[in-house]
């Protein structure tokens, strides 16, 4: 088996945190395409979006523009990963195929899934912006700037798709079920992509198992309070009082 090309030095302090964000970036173009399409379909739908208040429609259009900007930025990011010798195009194609299966669902379910994806993304974005656990103190290059900008916009528009779902009378049971499904999708894909990227680094001789174990232990200890906050935020989404009647 041919040894992979030597990857560049980690931009985010260590390999684990660098590859975590790289794995997220590989997921984002397809994931954002799904969310954008759900909101675009809502805007054009006679039953749901056409008769909605104009301020909500304005927010939805602004949301689409921001997500399209994220999508373009992460496609460039992923192209740089490919140029470094990583199997970025192959991994992106797998994510795109998995997300395409969700595109056949009805609009209320796609809205519920999109709202769940946005909620999960916003929970992580808040933690990324909170301190230096996820982005290291030395992370000041273009990748770090991209992620800080992206996270700020995710936090800023975190409510939009949830408001669209509420305006469309998407019930609590559907939204709760879609939160569970979205959590499984994201969790599985992040682990799968992260494992593939770290394996590439180890095969290239840039990372040792012992060093990776140390990085994982340090991150787990530092991130524990934030993970607890994210867990509480996840549970908070399931409060029946915050949803329309089923």
pLDDT tens-digit readout, 204-238:
999 999 999 999 999 999 999 999 999 999 999 98
pLDDT (0 to 100) of residue 71 = 96
> 135-175, pLDDT tens digit by residue?
986 666 889 999 999 999 999 999 999 999 999 999 999 99
End-to-end CA distance of the chain, in Å?
Answer: 55
Is pLDDT of 242 > 80? no
Q: Residue 158 domain-assigned?
A: yes
Question: DSSP per residue over 83-106, as a string?
Answer: HTT--HHHHHHHHHHHHHHHTTS-
51 — pLDDT class (breaks 50, 70, 90): confident
How many structural domains is the chain composed of? 1
pLDDT (0 to 100) of residue 140 = 66
Is pLDDT of 244 > 50? no
Place of tokens 């992979």: 4
pLDDT (0 to 100) of residue 15 = 95
Structure tokens at 204: 């290239």
Is pLDDT of 1 > 50? no
How many residues make up the chain in this entry? 246
pLDDT (0 to 100) of residue 9 = 86
pLDDT (0 to 100) of residue 191 = 96
Nearest to 76 by CA among 142, 18, 5: 142
User: Are the CB atoms for 31 and 214 separated by under 8 Å?
Assistant: no
Percent of the chain with pLDDT over 70: 93
Domain that holds residue 90: 15-242
Is pLDDT of 12 > 60? yes
The SS3 call for residue 11 is coil
Q: Residue 181 domain-assigned?
A: yes
Q: Residue 4 domain-assigned?
A: no
Q: Environment class of residue 43 by beta-carbon count within 10 Å: exposed (0-12), middle (13-18) or buried (19+)?
A: middle
Q: Residue 102 domain-assigned?
A: yes
Q: Residue 7 domain-assigned?
A: no
For the chain, give the mean pLDDT.
92
More confident residue, 3 or 185: 185
Q: Residue 156 domain-assigned?
A: yes
Q: What is the signed CA dihedral for 216, 183, 224, 151, rounded to 10 degrees? A: 90
Q: Residue 44 domain-assigned?
A: yes
Number of CB atoms found within 10 A of residue 54's CB: 7
Q: Residue 154 domain-assigned?
A: yes
pLDDT (0 to 100) of residue 7 = 75
For the segment 16-24, the average pLDDT, to the nearest whole number, is 97
């Amino acid at each position: 088996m041919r040894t992979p090309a030597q990857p560049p030095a980690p931009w985010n302090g260590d390999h684990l945190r660098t590859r975590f964000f790289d794995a997220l970036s590989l997921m984002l173009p397809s994931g954002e395409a799904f969310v954008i399409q759900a909101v675009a379909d809502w805007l054009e739908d006679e039953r749901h979006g056409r008769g909605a208040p104009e301020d909500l429609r304005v927010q939805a259009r602004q949301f689409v523009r921001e997500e399209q900007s994220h999508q373009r930025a992460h496609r460039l990011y992923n192209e740089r990963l490919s140029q470094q010798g990583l199997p970025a195009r192959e991994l992106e194609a797998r994510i795109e195929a998995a997300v395409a299966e969700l595109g056949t669902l009805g609009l209320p379910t796609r809205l519920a899934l999109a709202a769940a994806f946005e909620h999960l993304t916003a929970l992580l974005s808040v933690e990324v912006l909170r301190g230096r656990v996820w982005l290291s103190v030395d992370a000041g290059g273009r990748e770090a700037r991209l992620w800080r900008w992206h996270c700020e916009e995710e936090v800023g528009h975190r409510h939009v798709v949830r408001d669209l779902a509420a305006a469309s009378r998407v019930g609590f049971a559907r939204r709760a079920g879609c939160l569970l499904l979205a959590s499984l999708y994201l969790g599985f894909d992040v682990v799968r992509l992260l494992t593939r990227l770290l394996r590439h680094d180890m095969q290239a001789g840039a990372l040792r198992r012992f060093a990776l174990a140390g990085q994982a232990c340090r991150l787990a200890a530092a991130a524990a309070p934030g993970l607890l906050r994210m867990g509480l935020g996840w549970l908070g989404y399931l409060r029946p009082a915050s949803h329309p009647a089923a």
